[in-house]
């Protein structure tokens, strides 16, 4: 017997038939003697519909009311799954974020979880063998008593946080893919599924373009050392041995991985825009004058490259922002031109970022150099480079994205054998 959190995403609960399929997955674990909490997303497409309703009602809507509306999608799913489970003879009840309570900050639409008291859910495991069906993506701010939401993909974060709060043995993330791959199989058909991946590597993959998990959920897993298992909800529930290890990827501490590869995976993102400021006076405070206003506008800056001129008096500075923030970033920089003192602003939106990730880079030299040579042989020009201890990223023309990913995937021996 163990204690599990099972999280199901929007495609897994897209209609009543799929909710019944989810219920069979839950029943399998209950019958095996496990205590089970289930975290559910809204039905596929429902959150988008609710967001559009808010925008139609008023383009400048109140963020607090926005959260009240969009949180309702998960409320519907949790209630429906509880009803189906009850019809199968399983003790179950639905929980909204405020009922537990999942206490969060007051940053509506992007709140962060502060505290979860899992006592009542644990007690019900013992007293009633009751399955807790929890609406993901939401919580409550204790100061205002207003419903909050955690941002897109927030149900993953809810699930890992709840797993930590109820001291679960594992958090299973059921999704429409059967694990974490070395890169997107749609781009590289030879991409292989990883049996295990370290929290740090997964954190980099998630933040650099891989869409399997929300970044914050991986952070929480690492902080609480909560094993997270990514698996498919479309495997037949009756074909899975609840005491065995089904196909999927375990995200865990690096110490649990016996064989560590130099490179774990290749991530890429086409949601990038590049801004270059030319001939800025090279003096203290210039970087603050550029990035301060961007931070105030809640625009995340990623890659930053600075070049100093030969005379040492001026500098060029290039950085990237999400493509969705490009217009706001450009307007923000233009408005601050007098304080920054640049001569010209150049920009590009037809760029992409390709990243190579692997904890093994710590103990191996020349990993990045091999990539630069391989890309040059393919006539792929690198616009910018950033590095850290376990990853490096290159900014290239978007047209070469897939070629670059395939080249690097083969270069580091990640092709399936």
pLDDT tens digits for 131-186?
999 999 999 999 999 999 998 889 999 999 999 999 999 999 998 888 999 999 88
Question: What pLDDT does 260 receive?
Answer: 67
Of 411, 402, 410, 414, whose CA–CA distance to 268 is shortest?
402
Question: What pLDDT does 257 receive?
Answer: 79
Question: What pLDDT does 10 receive?
Answer: 93
Domains 3-255 and 266-411 in one fold: no
Domain boundaries, the chain: 3-255, 266-411
Question: What pLDDT does 56 receive?
Answer: 94
Tell me which CATH code domain 3-255 carries.
3.40.1160.10
Residue 8 annotated in ligand binding: yes
Residue 176 annotated in ligand binding: yes
Residue 318 annotated in ligand binding: no
Question: What pLDDT does 416 receive?
Answer: 66
Residue 24 annotated in ligand binding: no
Local confidence pLDDT in tens for the 417 residues of the chain: 699 999 999 999 999 999 999 999 999 999 999 999 999 999 999 999 999 999 999 988 899 999 999 999 999 999 999 999 999 999 999 999 999 999 999 999 999 999 999 999 999 999 999 999 999 999 999 999 999 999 888 999 999 999 999 999 999 999 888 899 999 988 999 999 999 999 999 998 888 766 778 888 999 999 999 999 999 888 888 888 887 777 899 999 888 876 667 899 999 998 899 999 998 888 888 889 999 999 988 898 988 988 876 667 888 899 999 998 999 999 999 998 888 988 899 999 999 999 999 988 887 888 999 999 999 999 999 998 988 888 999 999 999 999 999 999 999 999 865
Residue 212 annotated in ligand binding: yes
Question: What pLDDT does 389 receive?
Answer: 87
Domain 266-411: CATH superfamily, name plus number: VC0802-like (3.30.2130.10)
Residue 270 annotated in ligand binding: no
Residue 10 annotated in ligand binding: yes
Question: What pLDDT does 76 receive?
Answer: 97
Residue 367 annotated in ligand binding: no
pTM, full prediction: 0.85
């Amino acid at each position: 017997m163990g204690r599990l959190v099972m999280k199901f995403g929007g495609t897994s609960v897209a209609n009543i038939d799929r909710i019944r399929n989810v219920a069979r997955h839950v029943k399998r674990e209950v019958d095996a003697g496990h205590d089970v909490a289930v975290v559910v997303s809204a039905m596929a497409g429902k959150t988008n519909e609710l967001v559009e309703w808010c925008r139609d009602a008023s383009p400048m809507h109140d963020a607090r009311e926005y959260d009240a509306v969009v949180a309702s999608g998960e409320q519907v799913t949790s209630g429906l799954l509880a009803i189906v489970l009850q019809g199968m003879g399983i003790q179950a009840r639905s929980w909204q974020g405020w009922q537990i309570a999942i206490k969060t900050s007051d940053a509506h639409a992007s709140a962060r979880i502060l505290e979860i008291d899992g006592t009542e859910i644990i007690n019900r495991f013992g007293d009633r063998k009751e399955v807790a069906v929890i609406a993901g993506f939401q919580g409550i701010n204790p100061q205002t008593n207003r419903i909050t939401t955690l941002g897109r993909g927030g149900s993953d974060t809810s699930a890992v946080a709840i797993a930590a709060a109820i001291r679960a043995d594992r958090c299973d993330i059921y999704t429409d893919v059967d694990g974490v791959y070395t890169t997107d199989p749609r781009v590289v058909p030879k991409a292989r599924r990883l049996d295990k991946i370290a929290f740090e590597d997964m954190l980099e993959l998630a933040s650099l373009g891989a869409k399997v998990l929300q970044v914050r959920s991986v952070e929480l897993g690492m902080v609480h050392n909560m094993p997270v298992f990514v698996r498919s909800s479309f495997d037949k529930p009756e074909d899975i041995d609840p005491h065995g290890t089904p196909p999927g990827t375990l995200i865990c501490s690096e110490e649990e991985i016996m064989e560590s590869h130099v490179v774990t995976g290749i991530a890429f993102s086409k949601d990038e825009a590049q801004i270059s400021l030319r001939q800025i006076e090279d003096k203290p405070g210039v970087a603050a004058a550029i990035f301060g206003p961007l931070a105030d506008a809640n625009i995340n800056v990623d890659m930053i490259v600075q070049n100093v001129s030969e005379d040492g008096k001026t500098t060029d500075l290039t950085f990237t922002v999400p493509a969705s923030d490009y217009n706001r970033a450009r307007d923000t920089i233009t408005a601050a031109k007098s304080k920054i003192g640049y001569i010209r602003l150049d920009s590009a939106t037809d760029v992409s970022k390709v990243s190579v990730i692997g904890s093994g880079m710590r103990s191996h030299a020349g990993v990045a150099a091999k990539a630069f040579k391989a890309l040059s042989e393919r006539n792929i020009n690198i616009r910018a480079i950033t590095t850290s201890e376990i990853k490096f990223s290159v900014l290239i023309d978007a047209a070469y994205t897939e070629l670059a990913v395939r080249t690097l995937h083969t270069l580091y021996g990640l092709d399936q054998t």
